[in-house]
Chain A
Amino acid sequence: MTPDYDVIIVGAGPAGMASAITARQSNLSVLVLDDQPDHGGQVWRNIRQNQQHHQMRAFLGKDYWKGHQLTKDFLNSGSDITHQAVVWQISHPLSLSVTIAGIAQSLTARAIILATGAYERPVPLPGWHLPGVMTVGAAQTLLKASSSGADGAVFVGTGPLFYLTITQYLDAGFSIAGVCDTGARLNSLSTLAALPLALTQPNMLRKGLSWLRRIKAETPYYAHVSDIRLEGKEQVEAVAFAYGKGKTKENMHIPSSHVFLHQGVIPNVNLSMASGLAHQWHHRQMCWHPVCDRHGASSVEGIYIAGDAGGIAGAGAAVASGHITGAAVAKALTRATSPKRALWQHRIKRLHHRALRPFLDQFYAPLPETLIPRDENTIICRCEGLTQAEVTTAIGMGVAGPNQLKAYCRAGMGRCQGRMCGLTVQALLADHHKTPIQDMPYYRLRPPVRPVTIAELAALHQADHDISG
Protein backbone atom coordinates (compact mmCIF):
# COMPACT_ATOMS: atom_id res chain seq x y z
CA MET A 1 0.00 0.00 0.00
CA THR A 2 1.33 3.45 -0.85
CA PRO A 3 1.97 5.54 2.28
CA ASP A 4 -0.24 8.62 2.71
CA TYR A 5 2.84 10.90 2.74
CA ASP A 6 6.57 10.65 2.17
CA VAL A 7 7.22 12.55 5.40
CA ILE A 8 5.02 13.36 8.37
CA ILE A 9 6.43 15.97 10.73
CA VAL A 10 5.09 16.32 14.28
CA GLY A 11 5.36 19.93 15.41
CA ALA A 12 5.36 23.26 13.53
CA GLY A 13 7.98 25.07 15.59
CA PRO A 14 11.40 26.18 14.29
CA ALA A 15 12.69 22.62 13.69
CA GLY A 16 9.45 21.27 12.22
CA MET A 17 9.07 24.20 9.82
CA ALA A 18 12.72 24.07 8.70
CA SER A 19 12.63 20.32 8.07
CA ALA A 20 9.40 20.71 6.06
CA ILE A 21 10.99 23.41 3.88
CA THR A 22 14.06 21.28 3.14
CA ALA A 23 12.10 18.06 2.54
CA ARG A 24 9.82 19.91 0.09
CA GLN A 25 12.88 21.12 -1.87
CA SER A 26 13.38 17.46 -2.85
CA ASN A 27 9.73 17.28 -3.91
CA LEU A 28 8.71 14.93 -1.13
CA SER A 29 5.08 15.06 -0.03
CA VAL A 30 5.01 16.52 3.48
CA LEU A 31 2.31 16.68 6.16
CA VAL A 32 2.93 18.75 9.29
CA LEU A 33 0.78 17.96 12.33
CA ASP A 34 0.82 20.55 15.09
CA ASP A 35 -1.18 20.62 18.32
CA GLN A 36 -1.32 24.42 18.63
CA PRO A 37 -3.78 26.76 16.84
CA ASP A 38 -1.11 28.13 14.46
CA HIS A 39 2.49 27.55 13.37
CA GLY A 40 5.56 28.99 15.10
CA GLY A 41 5.96 26.60 18.02
CA GLN A 42 6.30 28.14 21.46
CA VAL A 43 9.14 30.50 20.51
CA TRP A 44 7.32 32.12 17.56
CA ARG A 45 3.84 31.49 18.82
CA ASN A 46 1.08 33.46 17.10
CA ILE A 47 3.59 35.18 14.81
CA ARG A 48 1.14 35.38 11.90
CA GLN A 49 -1.34 37.49 13.90
CA ASN A 50 1.28 39.46 15.80
CA GLN A 51 2.90 40.48 12.51
CA GLN A 52 -0.31 42.37 11.69
CA HIS A 53 -0.01 44.31 14.96
CA HIS A 54 3.75 44.64 14.62
CA GLN A 55 4.09 48.17 15.96
CA MET A 56 1.85 47.74 18.98
CA ARG A 57 3.62 44.50 19.89
CA ALA A 58 7.22 45.60 19.39
CA PHE A 59 7.89 44.55 23.01
CA LEU A 60 8.17 40.93 21.81
CA GLY A 61 11.68 41.86 20.68
CA LYS A 62 14.06 41.37 17.76
CA ASP A 63 14.54 37.61 18.17
CA TYR A 64 10.80 37.05 17.99
CA TRP A 65 10.39 38.89 14.69
CA LYS A 66 13.27 36.86 13.24
CA GLY A 67 10.75 34.03 12.98
CA HIS A 68 8.79 35.86 10.29
CA GLN A 69 10.95 34.81 7.33
CA LEU A 70 11.00 31.12 8.21
CA THR A 71 7.24 31.00 8.79
CA LYS A 72 6.70 32.69 5.39
CA ASP A 73 8.96 30.14 3.67
CA PHE A 74 7.12 27.38 5.51
CA LEU A 75 3.71 28.55 4.31
CA ASN A 76 5.04 28.76 0.74
CA SER A 77 6.76 25.36 0.90
CA GLY A 78 3.81 23.36 -0.38
CA SER A 79 3.54 21.30 2.80
CA ASP A 80 0.12 20.19 4.01
CA ILE A 81 -0.34 21.71 7.47
CA THR A 82 -2.92 20.69 10.06
CA HIS A 83 -3.24 22.49 13.38
CA GLN A 84 -4.86 21.38 16.63
CA ALA A 85 -3.86 17.88 15.59
CA VAL A 86 -3.04 15.69 18.57
CA VAL A 87 -0.68 12.82 17.75
CA TRP A 88 -1.05 10.07 20.33
CA GLN A 89 0.64 7.01 18.90
CA ILE A 90 3.31 5.88 16.44
CA SER A 91 3.27 2.24 15.32
CA HIS A 92 5.68 0.19 13.26
CA PRO A 93 6.09 0.08 10.36
CA LEU A 94 5.53 3.77 10.15
CA SER A 95 2.00 4.82 10.94
CA LEU A 96 0.76 7.46 13.26
CA SER A 97 -2.54 7.93 15.12
CA VAL A 98 -3.84 11.45 15.39
CA THR A 99 -7.01 13.17 16.53
CA ILE A 100 -8.10 16.16 14.48
CA ALA A 101 -11.27 18.05 15.48
CA GLY A 102 -12.38 15.15 17.67
CA ILE A 103 -11.91 12.53 14.96
CA ALA A 104 -9.14 9.94 15.26
CA GLN A 105 -7.39 8.66 12.19
CA SER A 106 -4.37 6.64 11.21
CA LEU A 107 -1.83 7.96 8.67
CA THR A 108 1.16 6.25 7.09
CA ALA A 109 4.49 7.72 5.97
CA ARG A 110 7.90 6.67 4.66
CA ALA A 111 9.60 8.78 7.35
CA ILE A 112 8.46 10.55 10.50
CA ILE A 113 10.24 13.56 11.98
CA LEU A 114 9.51 14.34 15.62
CA ALA A 115 9.95 18.07 16.18
CA THR A 116 8.02 18.14 19.43
CA GLY A 117 10.21 20.80 21.02
CA ALA A 118 10.61 21.37 24.71
CA TYR A 119 8.61 22.30 27.76
CA GLU A 120 9.60 23.91 31.02
CA ARG A 121 11.16 21.75 33.69
CA PRO A 122 8.57 21.17 36.41
CA VAL A 123 9.28 23.32 39.49
CA PRO A 124 8.01 21.34 42.52
CA LEU A 125 8.20 24.03 45.20
CA PRO A 126 5.82 24.20 48.18
CA GLY A 127 2.57 25.68 46.81
CA TRP A 128 3.43 25.45 43.09
CA HIS A 129 0.05 23.79 42.47
CA LEU A 130 -1.94 26.85 43.64
CA PRO A 131 -4.01 28.70 41.01
CA GLY A 132 -2.17 31.91 40.10
CA VAL A 133 1.20 30.13 40.01
CA MET A 134 2.24 29.61 36.40
CA THR A 135 5.42 29.10 34.47
CA VAL A 136 7.37 32.01 33.02
CA GLY A 137 6.78 30.41 29.63
CA ALA A 138 3.04 30.56 30.31
CA ALA A 139 3.32 34.28 31.06
CA GLN A 140 5.21 34.71 27.79
CA THR A 141 2.60 32.67 25.90
CA LEU A 142 -0.10 35.01 27.20
CA LEU A 143 1.94 37.97 25.93
CA LYS A 144 2.33 36.43 22.48
CA ALA A 145 -1.05 34.79 22.07
CA SER A 146 -3.26 37.34 23.78
CA SER A 147 -1.01 40.41 24.26
CA SER A 148 -1.91 40.25 27.92
CA GLY A 149 0.13 40.33 31.10
CA ALA A 150 -0.36 40.77 34.83
CA ASP A 151 0.75 43.79 36.86
CA GLY A 152 2.45 43.12 40.18
CA ALA A 153 3.67 39.61 39.39
CA VAL A 154 6.68 37.96 41.02
CA PHE A 155 9.16 36.09 38.79
CA VAL A 156 11.06 33.24 40.46
CA GLY A 157 13.79 31.35 38.66
CA THR A 158 16.70 31.56 36.28
CA GLY A 159 17.72 30.97 32.67
CA PRO A 160 17.60 32.76 29.31
CA LEU A 161 13.80 32.53 28.96
CA PHE A 162 13.43 33.94 32.49
CA TYR A 163 15.38 37.13 31.77
CA LEU A 164 13.93 37.50 28.26
CA THR A 165 10.34 37.33 29.49
CA ILE A 166 10.96 39.83 32.29
CA THR A 167 12.50 42.19 29.73
CA GLN A 168 9.45 41.77 27.48
CA TYR A 169 7.21 42.52 30.50
CA LEU A 170 9.18 45.72 31.16
CA ASP A 171 9.00 46.78 27.50
CA ALA A 172 5.26 46.12 27.47
CA GLY A 173 4.87 48.37 30.54
CA PHE A 174 3.74 45.90 33.19
CA SER A 175 4.74 46.56 36.80
CA ILE A 176 6.79 43.82 38.49
CA ALA A 177 6.61 43.18 42.25
CA GLY A 178 9.80 41.13 42.45
CA VAL A 179 12.43 39.20 40.55
CA CYS A 180 13.81 36.30 42.60
CA ASP A 181 16.94 35.05 40.85
CA THR A 182 17.81 31.48 41.79
CA GLY A 183 20.69 31.03 39.39
CA ALA A 184 23.83 32.50 37.93
CA ARG A 185 26.36 30.53 39.91
CA LEU A 186 29.93 31.01 38.69
CA ASN A 187 31.26 28.79 41.43
CA SER A 188 32.03 25.46 39.87
CA LEU A 189 35.04 24.40 37.86
CA SER A 190 32.90 22.92 35.11
CA THR A 191 31.06 26.24 34.67
CA LEU A 192 34.37 28.06 34.34
CA ALA A 193 35.63 25.37 31.97
CA ALA A 194 32.66 26.01 29.67
CA LEU A 195 33.33 29.76 29.61
CA PRO A 196 36.02 29.91 26.88
CA LEU A 197 33.71 28.19 24.36
CA ALA A 198 30.90 30.55 25.39
CA LEU A 199 33.21 33.52 24.77
CA THR A 200 33.13 32.62 21.06
CA GLN A 201 29.55 33.98 21.16
CA PRO A 202 30.15 37.48 22.55
CA ASN A 203 26.91 38.89 21.13
CA MET A 204 24.75 36.38 22.91
CA LEU A 205 26.65 36.87 26.17
CA ARG A 206 26.31 40.64 25.81
CA LYS A 207 22.57 40.28 25.25
CA GLY A 208 22.23 38.24 28.45
CA LEU A 209 24.24 40.76 30.45
CA SER A 210 22.21 43.69 29.18
CA TRP A 211 18.96 41.96 30.17
CA LEU A 212 20.30 41.36 33.67
CA ARG A 213 21.60 44.92 34.05
CA ARG A 214 18.24 46.31 33.08
CA ILE A 215 16.28 43.98 35.36
CA LYS A 216 18.50 44.93 38.30
CA ALA A 217 17.92 48.62 37.59
CA GLU A 218 14.18 48.53 36.94
CA THR A 219 12.73 45.87 39.27
CA PRO A 220 12.96 44.87 42.95
CA TYR A 221 15.68 42.30 42.28
CA TYR A 222 16.87 39.61 44.73
CA ALA A 223 19.95 37.49 44.03
CA HIS A 224 20.89 34.04 45.36
CA VAL A 225 17.29 33.14 46.19
CA SER A 226 16.44 29.85 47.92
CA ASP A 227 14.01 28.34 50.49
CA ILE A 228 11.07 29.36 48.32
CA ARG A 229 7.46 28.87 49.45
CA LEU A 230 4.34 29.88 47.55
CA GLU A 231 1.68 30.71 50.10
CA GLY A 232 -2.09 30.86 49.85
CA LYS A 233 -5.26 28.92 50.50
CA GLU A 234 -7.43 28.70 47.40
CA GLN A 235 -4.93 30.57 45.25
CA VAL A 236 -1.47 32.02 45.62
CA GLU A 237 -1.25 35.08 47.88
CA ALA A 238 2.47 35.55 48.52
CA VAL A 239 6.00 34.31 47.90
CA ALA A 240 8.33 33.72 50.85
CA PHE A 241 12.06 33.16 50.26
CA ALA A 242 15.59 33.73 51.48
CA TYR A 243 18.13 35.73 49.50
CA GLY A 244 21.79 36.63 49.72
CA LYS A 245 24.78 34.51 50.63
CA GLY A 246 26.04 33.04 53.92
CA LYS A 247 25.82 35.47 56.81
CA THR A 248 24.10 38.17 54.76
CA LYS A 249 21.16 35.84 54.03
CA GLU A 250 17.81 37.49 54.72
CA ASN A 251 14.19 36.43 54.56
CA MET A 252 11.64 38.17 52.37
CA HIS A 253 7.90 37.97 51.82
CA ILE A 254 6.19 39.52 48.76
CA PRO A 255 2.38 39.49 48.49
CA SER A 256 1.17 38.75 44.95
CA SER A 257 -1.61 36.87 43.21
CA HIS A 258 0.62 36.04 40.21
CA VAL A 259 3.84 34.08 40.52
CA PHE A 260 5.79 32.86 37.48
CA LEU A 261 8.33 30.04 37.87
CA HIS A 262 11.17 28.93 35.60
CA GLN A 263 14.06 26.46 35.97
CA GLY A 264 14.98 25.90 32.35
CA VAL A 265 13.45 23.68 29.68
CA ILE A 266 13.63 19.96 28.89
CA PRO A 267 12.96 18.00 25.68
CA ASN A 268 9.38 16.89 25.14
CA VAL A 269 10.06 13.15 24.94
CA ASN A 270 6.69 11.56 25.75
CA LEU A 271 5.95 10.62 22.14
CA SER A 272 9.51 9.46 21.36
CA MET A 273 9.62 7.35 24.55
CA ALA A 274 6.20 5.82 23.95
CA SER A 275 7.27 5.03 20.37
CA GLY A 276 10.07 2.80 21.65
CA LEU A 277 13.04 5.04 20.73
CA ALA A 278 16.19 4.62 22.83
CA HIS A 279 16.89 7.49 25.24
CA GLN A 280 19.88 8.41 27.37
CA TRP A 281 20.33 10.57 30.43
CA HIS A 282 22.08 13.87 29.72
CA HIS A 283 24.16 14.86 32.74
CA ARG A 284 24.61 18.53 32.07
CA GLN A 285 20.97 19.19 31.09
CA MET A 286 19.69 16.79 33.77
CA CYS A 287 17.02 15.21 31.56
CA TRP A 288 16.46 12.46 28.98
CA HIS A 289 17.46 12.86 25.33
CA PRO A 290 16.48 10.51 22.52
CA VAL A 291 19.56 8.77 21.11
CA CYS A 292 20.17 10.04 17.58
CA ASP A 293 23.01 10.58 15.13
CA ARG A 294 24.13 13.99 13.86
CA HIS A 295 21.45 13.90 11.14
CA GLY A 296 18.69 13.25 13.67
CA ALA A 297 18.16 9.56 12.82
CA SER A 298 16.85 7.81 15.95
CA SER A 299 17.33 4.21 17.08
CA VAL A 300 14.17 3.23 15.15
CA GLU A 301 14.43 3.11 11.39
CA GLY A 302 12.46 5.83 9.64
CA ILE A 303 11.95 7.98 12.76
CA TYR A 304 14.01 11.16 13.07
CA ILE A 305 14.31 13.86 15.75
CA ALA A 306 14.82 17.55 14.98
CA GLY A 307 15.36 20.56 17.23
CA ASP A 308 15.03 20.83 21.00
CA ALA A 309 13.13 17.51 21.17
CA GLY A 310 16.60 15.97 20.78
CA GLY A 311 18.31 18.13 23.43
CA ILE A 312 18.08 21.77 24.44
CA ALA A 313 20.00 24.15 22.18
CA GLY A 314 17.48 26.95 21.47
CA ALA A 315 15.54 28.20 18.45
CA GLY A 316 18.53 29.13 16.28
CA ALA A 317 20.04 25.65 16.58
CA ALA A 318 16.57 24.12 16.09
CA VAL A 319 16.19 25.80 12.68
CA ALA A 320 19.61 24.53 11.56
CA SER A 321 18.87 21.07 12.94
CA GLY A 322 15.52 21.01 11.11
CA HIS A 323 17.21 21.76 7.77
CA ILE A 324 19.89 19.11 8.44
CA THR A 325 17.30 16.45 9.32
CA GLY A 326 15.07 17.41 6.39
CA ALA A 327 18.06 16.91 4.07
CA ALA A 328 18.92 13.56 5.68
CA VAL A 329 15.35 12.34 5.18
CA ALA A 330 15.38 13.52 1.55
CA LYS A 331 18.64 11.67 0.99
CA ALA A 332 17.29 8.49 2.57
CA LEU A 333 14.07 8.56 0.55
CA THR A 334 15.21 9.86 -2.84
CA ARG A 335 18.99 9.45 -2.82
CA ALA A 336 19.03 13.13 -3.76
CA THR A 337 21.65 15.14 -1.94
CA SER A 338 20.99 18.71 -0.88
CA PRO A 339 23.37 21.40 -2.12
CA LYS A 340 26.55 20.86 -0.08
CA ARG A 341 27.09 24.54 0.55
CA ALA A 342 23.68 25.05 2.15
CA LEU A 343 24.10 21.96 4.30
CA TRP A 344 27.47 23.13 5.59
CA GLN A 345 26.02 26.52 6.40
CA HIS A 346 23.36 24.86 8.56
CA ARG A 347 25.97 22.67 10.26
CA ILE A 348 28.14 25.69 11.08
CA LYS A 349 25.11 27.61 12.35
CA ARG A 350 24.16 24.71 14.60
CA LEU A 351 27.70 24.52 16.02
CA HIS A 352 27.66 28.26 16.56
CA HIS A 353 24.38 28.15 18.51
CA ARG A 354 25.45 25.12 20.52
CA ALA A 355 28.72 26.73 21.63
CA LEU A 356 27.05 28.74 24.38
CA ARG A 357 24.96 25.84 25.67
CA PRO A 358 27.40 24.07 28.05
CA PHE A 359 27.96 27.37 29.82
CA LEU A 360 24.24 28.22 29.97
CA ASP A 361 23.34 24.74 31.21
CA GLN A 362 25.69 25.10 34.17
CA PHE A 363 25.42 28.80 34.89
CA TYR A 364 21.61 28.52 35.00
CA ALA A 365 21.42 25.04 36.54
CA PRO A 366 18.16 24.27 38.36
CA LEU A 367 17.97 25.12 42.06
CA PRO A 368 18.66 21.92 44.06
CA GLU A 369 15.45 22.29 46.15
CA THR A 370 13.42 22.02 42.92
CA LEU A 371 15.17 18.79 41.89
CA ILE A 372 14.68 16.92 45.18
CA PRO A 373 11.92 18.66 47.17
CA ARG A 374 12.67 18.57 50.91
CA ASP A 375 9.36 19.95 52.18
CA GLU A 376 7.03 17.03 52.78
CA ASN A 377 3.86 18.91 51.83
CA THR A 378 5.14 19.81 48.36
CA ILE A 379 2.94 18.35 45.63
CA ILE A 380 4.99 15.97 43.46
CA CYS A 381 2.32 14.48 41.18
CA ARG A 382 -0.06 17.30 40.30
CA CYS A 383 -2.65 15.05 38.62
CA GLU A 384 -3.11 12.75 41.59
CA GLY A 385 -2.45 15.43 44.23
CA LEU A 386 0.38 13.39 45.80
CA THR A 387 2.74 15.09 48.25
CA GLN A 388 6.44 14.46 48.75
CA ALA A 389 5.58 12.64 52.03
CA GLU A 390 3.14 10.32 50.26
CA VAL A 391 5.62 9.53 47.49
CA THR A 392 8.58 8.99 49.85
CA THR A 393 6.44 6.79 52.14
CA ALA A 394 5.60 4.61 49.14
CA ILE A 395 9.28 4.54 48.12
CA GLY A 396 10.19 3.53 51.68
CA MET A 397 7.91 0.49 51.38
CA GLY A 398 10.48 -1.05 49.06
CA VAL A 399 9.63 0.38 45.66
CA ALA A 400 12.53 -0.20 43.26
CA GLY A 401 11.59 2.05 40.35
CA PRO A 402 9.03 4.47 38.87
CA ASN A 403 6.78 1.82 37.30
CA GLN A 404 6.33 -0.04 40.56
CA LEU A 405 5.61 3.27 42.28
CA LYS A 406 2.49 3.66 40.13
CA ALA A 407 0.99 0.57 41.77
CA TYR A 408 1.81 1.86 45.27
CA CYS A 409 0.54 5.43 45.03
CA ARG A 410 -0.66 6.19 41.46
CA ALA A 411 2.15 8.72 40.84
CA GLY A 412 2.41 9.37 37.11
CA MET A 413 -0.93 7.78 36.31
CA GLY A 414 -2.94 10.95 35.74
CA ARG A 415 -3.69 12.82 32.57
CA CYS A 416 -0.26 14.45 32.14
CA GLN A 417 1.28 10.96 32.06
CA GLY A 418 4.30 11.86 34.13
CA ARG A 419 5.23 15.06 32.32
CA MET A 420 4.98 17.00 35.60
CA CYS A 421 6.33 14.38 38.07
CA GLY A 422 8.57 12.01 36.08
CA LEU A 423 11.92 13.68 36.71
CA THR A 424 11.11 14.37 40.38
CA VAL A 425 10.04 10.77 41.01
CA GLN A 426 13.21 9.54 39.29
CA ALA A 427 15.33 11.88 41.46
CA LEU A 428 13.57 10.89 44.72
CA LEU A 429 13.98 7.18 43.94
CA ALA A 430 17.66 7.61 43.00
CA ASP A 431 18.23 9.63 46.19
CA HIS A 432 16.53 7.00 48.38
CA HIS A 433 18.39 4.06 46.83
CA LYS A 434 21.70 5.99 46.63
CA THR A 435 21.74 5.14 42.91
CA PRO A 436 23.31 7.44 40.30
CA ILE A 437 20.40 9.28 38.64
CA GLN A 438 21.23 7.93 35.16
CA ASP A 439 20.79 4.36 36.45
CA MET A 440 17.27 5.04 37.70
CA PRO A 441 14.85 4.57 34.78
CA TYR A 442 12.02 6.90 33.83
CA TYR A 443 8.38 5.79 33.73
CA ARG A 444 7.75 3.28 30.98
CA LEU A 445 5.50 5.33 28.70
CA ARG A 446 2.90 3.77 26.47
CA PRO A 447 0.54 5.15 23.87
CA PRO A 448 -1.79 6.93 23.78
CA VAL A 449 0.43 9.80 24.93
CA ARG A 450 -2.59 12.11 25.16
CA PRO A 451 -5.97 11.17 26.65
CA VAL A 452 -8.16 9.57 23.99
CA THR A 453 -11.84 8.77 24.46
CA ILE A 454 -13.26 5.31 23.85
CA ALA A 455 -15.47 6.87 21.16
CA GLU A 456 -12.34 8.07 19.29
CA LEU A 457 -10.75 4.62 19.49
CA ALA A 458 -13.93 2.93 18.32
CA ALA A 459 -14.21 5.33 15.36
CA LEU A 460 -10.57 4.65 14.44
CA HIS A 461 -11.16 0.91 14.50
CA GLN A 462 -14.24 1.32 12.33
CA ALA A 463 -12.31 3.44 9.80
CA ASP A 464 -9.51 0.86 9.59
CA HIS A 465 -12.07 -1.88 9.12
CA ASP A 466 -13.76 0.08 6.33
CA ILE A 467 -10.46 0.53 4.48
CA SER A 468 -9.24 -3.05 4.81
CA GLY A 469 -12.69 -4.59 4.27
Chain B
Amino acid sequence: MFRQLDTPSSEITIFWEDRPLSAYQGELVAAVLLRHGIHSTHHGQSTGSRGPYCMMGVCFDCLVDVDNQKAIQACQIIANDGMRLNRHMNMAGTGHTHDA
Protein backbone atom coordinates (compact mmCIF):
# COMPACT_ATOMS: atom_id res chain seq x y z
CA MET B 1 0.00 0.00 0.00
CA PHE B 2 1.21 3.50 -0.73
CA ARG B 3 2.22 5.49 2.32
CA GLN B 4 3.00 9.16 2.70
CA LEU B 5 6.36 10.30 4.09
CA ASP B 6 5.22 13.60 5.53
CA THR B 7 1.99 15.49 6.02
CA PRO B 8 2.18 18.32 3.55
CA SER B 9 -0.93 20.35 4.35
CA SER B 10 -4.18 20.44 6.28
CA GLU B 11 -6.32 17.36 6.36
CA ILE B 12 -9.59 17.08 4.46
CA THR B 13 -12.09 14.27 3.88
CA ILE B 14 -13.31 12.87 0.59
CA PHE B 15 -15.71 9.97 0.03
CA TRP B 16 -15.14 6.83 -2.02
CA GLU B 17 -18.43 4.96 -2.50
CA ASP B 18 -19.66 6.68 0.69
CA ARG B 19 -16.56 5.61 2.68
CA PRO B 20 -14.70 8.60 4.18
CA LEU B 21 -10.99 8.85 3.24
CA SER B 22 -8.51 11.25 4.76
CA ALA B 23 -6.72 13.37 2.19
CA TYR B 24 -4.56 16.48 2.08
CA GLN B 25 -5.40 19.81 0.53
CA GLY B 26 -3.88 19.86 -2.95
CA GLU B 27 -3.47 16.09 -3.27
CA LEU B 28 -4.26 14.31 -6.55
CA VAL B 29 -7.42 12.22 -6.21
CA ALA B 30 -5.66 9.13 -7.67
CA ALA B 31 -2.91 9.50 -5.04
CA VAL B 32 -5.49 9.60 -2.24
CA LEU B 33 -7.20 6.45 -3.53
CA LEU B 34 -3.90 4.56 -3.84
CA ARG B 35 -2.87 5.54 -0.29
CA HIS B 36 -6.10 3.96 0.93
CA GLY B 37 -5.44 0.74 -0.98
CA ILE B 38 -7.98 1.43 -3.72
CA HIS B 39 -6.25 0.23 -6.89
CA SER B 40 -9.28 -0.36 -9.04
CA THR B 41 -11.25 2.78 -9.85
CA HIS B 42 -13.05 1.89 -13.03
CA HIS B 43 -14.86 -1.15 -14.37
CA GLY B 44 -15.80 -1.83 -17.96
CA GLN B 45 -17.80 -4.67 -19.43
CA SER B 46 -15.15 -5.28 -22.08
CA THR B 47 -12.10 -4.36 -20.02
CA GLY B 48 -12.70 -5.60 -16.45
CA SER B 49 -11.22 -3.70 -13.49
CA ARG B 50 -8.76 -0.91 -14.12
CA GLY B 51 -6.92 1.64 -12.04
CA PRO B 52 -4.27 4.36 -12.24
CA TYR B 53 -1.48 3.38 -14.66
CA CYS B 54 0.33 6.45 -16.05
CA MET B 55 -0.55 9.17 -13.46
CA MET B 56 -0.14 11.85 -16.14
CA GLY B 57 -3.37 11.85 -18.08
CA VAL B 58 -2.52 9.73 -21.11
CA CYS B 59 -3.91 6.23 -20.37
CA PHE B 60 -7.50 7.06 -19.27
CA ASP B 61 -7.61 4.03 -16.96
CA CYS B 62 -8.15 5.90 -13.67
CA LEU B 63 -11.64 7.09 -14.56
CA VAL B 64 -13.95 7.88 -11.65
CA ASP B 65 -17.30 9.60 -11.25
CA VAL B 66 -16.92 12.83 -9.27
CA ASP B 67 -19.98 14.43 -7.70
CA ASN B 68 -22.22 14.79 -10.78
CA GLN B 69 -19.57 14.31 -13.46
CA LYS B 70 -18.89 10.97 -15.08
CA ALA B 71 -15.61 9.48 -16.38
CA ILE B 72 -13.12 11.96 -14.93
CA GLN B 73 -9.39 11.09 -14.81
CA ALA B 74 -8.54 10.73 -11.11
CA CYS B 75 -4.86 11.55 -11.76
CA GLN B 76 -5.76 14.94 -13.24
CA ILE B 77 -7.89 16.37 -10.45
CA ILE B 78 -7.19 17.73 -6.98
CA ALA B 79 -9.06 16.51 -3.91
CA ASN B 80 -11.52 18.98 -2.39
CA ASP B 81 -13.06 18.67 1.04
CA GLY B 82 -16.31 16.71 0.86
CA MET B 83 -15.75 15.48 -2.72
CA ARG B 84 -17.87 12.40 -3.46
CA LEU B 85 -16.28 9.78 -5.70
CA ASN B 86 -17.63 6.60 -7.21
CA ARG B 87 -16.21 3.81 -9.33
CA HIS B 88 -16.81 4.59 -12.97
CA MET B 89 -18.92 1.80 -14.50
CA ASN B 90 -18.91 1.39 -18.24
CA MET B 91 -21.45 -1.21 -19.30
CA ALA B 92 -21.70 -0.13 -22.92
CA GLY B 93 -19.43 -2.97 -24.00
CA THR B 94 -16.85 -0.70 -25.57
CA GLY B 95 -14.28 1.70 -24.21
CA HIS B 96 -16.44 4.63 -25.20
CA THR B 97 -18.53 5.70 -22.27
CA HIS B 98 -21.82 7.23 -23.15
CA ASP B 99 -21.91 10.16 -20.82
CA ALA B 100 -25.11 11.84 -19.84
Contact = CB atoms under 8 A, between A and B. Distances in A.
B6 A57 contact: yes
Contact of A49 (B26, B53, B71): B26
A146 B71 CA distance: 23
B63 to A, nearest CB: 8
Interface string A38-60: 00001000000100010011000
Q: On chain B, which size bracket covers the interface?
A: 35 or more
A329 B61 CA distance: 37
Nearest to B47: A385
Interface stretch (A159-167, A283-291, A314-322, A411-419): A411-419
Contacts of A414: 60, 94-96
Given A147-B6, A148-B3, A148-B31, A384 B55 contact: no
B39 A131 contact: yes
Given A42-B56, A84-B76, A419-B58, A148 B35 contact: yes
Contacts of B97: 415
Interface in A134-157: 134-135, 137-138, 141-142, 145-151
A145 B32 CA distance: 11
B47 A120 contact: no
B40 interface: yes
Contact of B27 (A138, A146, A257, A385): A146
A37 interface: yes
A133 interface: yes
A295 B4 CA distance: 43
A447 interface: no
Interface in B27-42: 27-28, 31, 34-35, 39-41
A131 B8 contact: no
Nearest to A419: B58
A385 B48 contact: yes
A131 B43 CA distance: 11
Contacts of A181: none
Nearest to B70: A453
B94 A135 contact: no
Contact of A148 (B2, B40, B54, B71): B2
A376 to B, nearest CB: 17
Interface in A7-57: 35-37, 42, 49, 53, 56-57
- Tell me which of B5, B31, B52, B71 has the highest count of chain A C-beta atoms within 10 A of its own C-beta: B5
A137 B47 contact: no
A49 B95 contact: no
A142 B2 contact: yes
A235 B49 contact: yes
Interface in A306-327: none
A420 interface: yes
B5 A147 contact: yes
Interface in B18-32: 24, 26-28, 31
A138 B53 contact: yes
Interface in B55-100: 55-61, 63, 71, 75-76, 78, 94-97, 99
Contact of B59 (A57, A132, A419): A419
Contacts of B4: 146-148
A257 B39 CA distance: 10
A410 B94 contact: yes
Contacts of A5: none
B99 A453 contact: yes
Contacts of A149: 2-3, 5
A217 to B, nearest CB: 23
Given A130-B49, A146-B4, A415-B63, 18 more contacts: A36-B56, A49-B26, A53-B8, A84-B76, A120-B54, A129-B48, A131-B40, A131-B50, A146-B28, A147-B6, A151-B1, A173-B5, A257-B39, A258-B2, A385-B95, A413-B94, A415-B95, A415-B96
14 contacts: A129-B48, A129-B50, A135-B55, A138-B56, A145-B27, A147-B8, A149-B2, A150-B1, A235-B51, A384-B47, A413-B94, A414-B94, A415-B95, A415-B96
Interface of A: 35-37, 42, 49, 53, 56-57, 84, 119-120, 129-135, 137-138, 141-142, 145-151, 172-173, 234-235, 257-258, 268, 381-385, 410, 413-416, 419-420, 451, 453
Nearest 8 A-B pairs (CB), nearest first? Answer: A414-B95, A383-B95, A131-B51, A138-B55, A385-B47, A146-B31, A131-B39, A415-B60
